[in-house]
Every structure is written in structure tokens, then in C-alpha cells.
Amino acid sequence: MARVDLQNVTKDWGTAVAVDDISLDLKDGEFVAVLGPSGCGKSTTLFMLAGIYAPSSGDIRFDGARVNDVEARDRNVGIVFQSYALYPNMTVLQNILFPLRFKKVPRTDAEREAREIARLVQIENLLDRRPGQLSGGQQQRVALARALVKKPNLLLLDEPLSNLDATLRLSMRAEIRRIQRELGVTTILVTHDQIEATTMADRIICMNAGRVEQIGTPTDLYRAPETTFVAAFIGSPPINLIDARLAGDTLEIGDKRLRATGAGADHGGPVKLGLRPEHIREAEAGSATAGLAATITASEPMGRETLYTADTPIGSLHFLEATSMPRLAPGAKLSLTFDGDDSLVFDAATTRLMHGVCAHV
């Protein structure tokens, strides 16, 4: 269990930069998710922490001590690979014992520890099998047991759930979280699945093209995404992002003008307006503000709620209604509105959130 710091870490292979100047610090026992699309450098970051890749520049510290030059085998880091990477020539028990073999743990102690950890991840009845005879979920548990048996400073999970079917994924999510809390091990989960990240992690590091876009709690990332990338990546169905122009206290979208607050009178330029589908609703009849005249073009029942697509003066918008039965048919006309506090305005040039700036219908 350790505190982990990355300071200005960069990894490049010649001209290809995989990880570009990232800094983050993990508290002892924290569960952090690294979230991003494939190729954003999240696995590279993981492998640098494990000691498989050496950073091109920057420092990696465990409990304040620089470990850049410490070999992978000496870092005492547990990894669960996406493929699980179990040793096919060994039984489950031998797989779990493998890390202890190099720590010179006496055989009887090692077996006891291995059985203990096997009980924790509930595979004690599979110890004599070979990995080839196990299902995906069982292999996952074995990989987890093998990573945990050495009491790692740091547990790294590389897309651990992506090879499981949907129901199993749900239960393993809770399971991994339970085990992590029980052992209090500092954990980094790498994933491209936002649900996995938001449900499991204390904090999320959202990465894109080798850079950190935002670090924060799942709520932070959802409520106040720092960049359009984070706004678009977090949330399902995805946020509506509309090209607009800010001019003092008005927001121009095509011919339509919305009222803007929070921006200086002299402030202007191209911006993007972000509206989450669940924040758009039908305007109450006879309310003071006019709302956006909308025509429904598609409705998709999603189980608990319904996702509508509507044509409005500010473009095509997705919005959600918490009804399981679609209420509106394509072609239906209605008036849409949203609360100004829920709207997000991003600077189009820097893609960054303009704090305090809101749009009102």
C-alpha cells in the first residue's frame, strides 16, 4: 500500500509521443480510474508504473521515493492484464504461488497465503485446475488473486472487465471494489468504459491523446467537465454540443439568440454550448419564457427512459424523458427548455469550460 506520484512524466518512441507530460498523485488506498479512448496513452502510463516501460522524462515516486530506475520485479506491483496473462502450464494454485516463489516465502506460508487470497476471490475450489479449463470470469479471479497475493504496493487493472459478458461485468465490478476496500490497496484501473470508471473509482483521470484532460471525482467530471472532450466522453447518451457565438450577454446560434450570463460585456468569440440530454425538458404550458420550438424526429425507448431526437432552431437535440413508454411520436411538435444553471459553455478555441457562463432560453 503506497502513495504514488507521477511528475511531468512523458513517454515517447522517437517522434511518437504516447504520454505527454502527465502529473498525478494517488493517496494511499485510493481507487483511481484512468479513462480514455483507445490509444490515449493510458496503458502506457500503466506499464510505466509497473516498470515495464521506462519514462522518457519525469519522475515516478512510490511513497515519495523515486522508482524510475527500479526494475519491474522489484517494484512489488500487481497487474491484472486484459488477457489475464495466466501461465497456461501451471495450475491455478501454482499461478497464485508464482509471485511468492521469487520472494523466498517459505513453502508452507506461501500456500497458506495463496489459499487465503483464493478464498477472498472465491476460487478455492478451482486450485487444481489449469487456466484453460476455466471460464472467463474464473480466469479473471485467478489473475486478481495472483496480483494480490504478493501484497502489492500498487494494484494495476488493465481493462479487467472488457472480456466478460454484461451480467458478469456488473457483479465483478462490485466484487473488485469490495476486495480493494477490504485490503486497502492503492489501485489504478485503466478503462475506456465510463460506467466502469464512474461506478468503481474514487477519482477519475480522463486522458486524451497522451494528455490529462481532467482529474476529479466522478461527480466533478459529470457536473463540471473541464473540456469539451470530457463533456463528450462522460455521460450516456452523450451531451449535445452546439456551435455558437458569444457576444457579451447574447449567445448567437444561427439566427436564434439566447441570453447569456456571467460573461463580461466585452467578451466575445466562438464557443460551444453543452446541454446534457437529461437537462432538456418540455416547457410547461403558459410559462413566461417562450422555449425552443421543436419537432420530434426520432424516439428510442431505452427501458427506464426514452431518448428523443428533435429539430430545434439551435440544431438537432437529444433529450431524455423518464417514461418507459414513448409519449411523443415522430412529427409531434412541442416547446423545449432547460435551466441556465445546467448549461455548459466552452471556449471553442481552447475547448476549455468557461466557468460561470450560462445560457438561458
Partner 1 sequence: MTAIDWNRLATRARRGRRVRSGLLLAFLTLVSLPVILPFFWVVVISVSARTGGVEAAVLWKACAVLVPCVLAYAGVHTFIASVRARIIAGLLLGGLCLIGLYVLIGADLHLNNYRFLVNPNLIEDIRGAATIGGQFPWVWEAFGNSLLVAITSMTLKVIVATLAGYYLSRFAFRGRSFFLQSLLLLEVFHPWMLTIPIFLVIFWVGLLNTLSGPILVLTVIDLPFYIFIMKGFFDAVPWDIEMSAMTDGATRRQAFRHVVLPQVRGGIIAISVLGFIKGWEEYVFVTALRTGNSYWVMSTYLYYVAEDVMGVDYGLVAAVSVFYMLPSLLLYLFLQKYLTQLTLGGVKG
Binding site for partner 1 (CB under 8 A): 47, 50-52, 72-79, 81-83, 85-89, 98-99, 101-103, 146, 150
Residue 29 CB, nearest approach to partner 1 (Å): 20
Residue 125 CB, nearest approach to partner 1 (Å): 24
Here the cell at position 189 is 484501473
Residue 54 CB, nearest approach to partner 1 (Å): 13
Measured from the CB atom, is 47 or 222 closer to partner 1? Answer: 47
Residue tagged 470508471 (cell numbers): 197
Residue 102 CB, nearest approach to partner 1 (Å): 3
Measured from the CB atom, is 183 or 348 closer to partner 1? Answer: 183
Measured from the CB atom, is 98 or 216 closer to partner 1? Answer: 98
Amino acid, res. 71 = E
Q: How far is CA 165 from CA 56, 138, 155, 171, 252, in A?
A: 37, 12, 23, 10, 46
Residue 73 CB, nearest approach to partner 1 (Å): 5
Q: Is 205 helix (H, G, I), strand (E, B) or coil?
A: strand
Report the distance separating Cα 270 and Cα 273, nearest Å. Answer: 10
> 165 phi and psi, to 5 degrees?
-80, 165
Residue 50 CB, nearest approach to partner 1 (Å): 5
Which conformational region is residue 343 in: left (phi greater than 0), alpha (psi within -120 to 50 degrees), or beta? beta
Helix H segments across the chain? 42-50, 92-101, 107-120, 136-148, 166-183, 194-200, 218-223, 228-233
Measured from the CB atom, is 69 or 266 closer to partner 1? Answer: 69
Measured from the CB atom, is 80 or 314 closer to partner 1? Answer: 80
Measured from the CB atom, is 127 or 230 closer to partner 1? Answer: 127
Residue tagged 483507445 (cell numbers): 38
Residue 44 CB, nearest approach to partner 1 (Å): 13
Measured from the CB atom, is 15 or 125 closer to partner 1? Answer: 15
Residue pair 98/146 in contact by the 8 Å Cβ criterion:
yes
Closest CA to 162 of 141, 191, 189: 191
Residue 88: Cβ within 10 Å count: 9
What is the largest distance, in Å, between two alpha-carbon atoms of the chain?
79
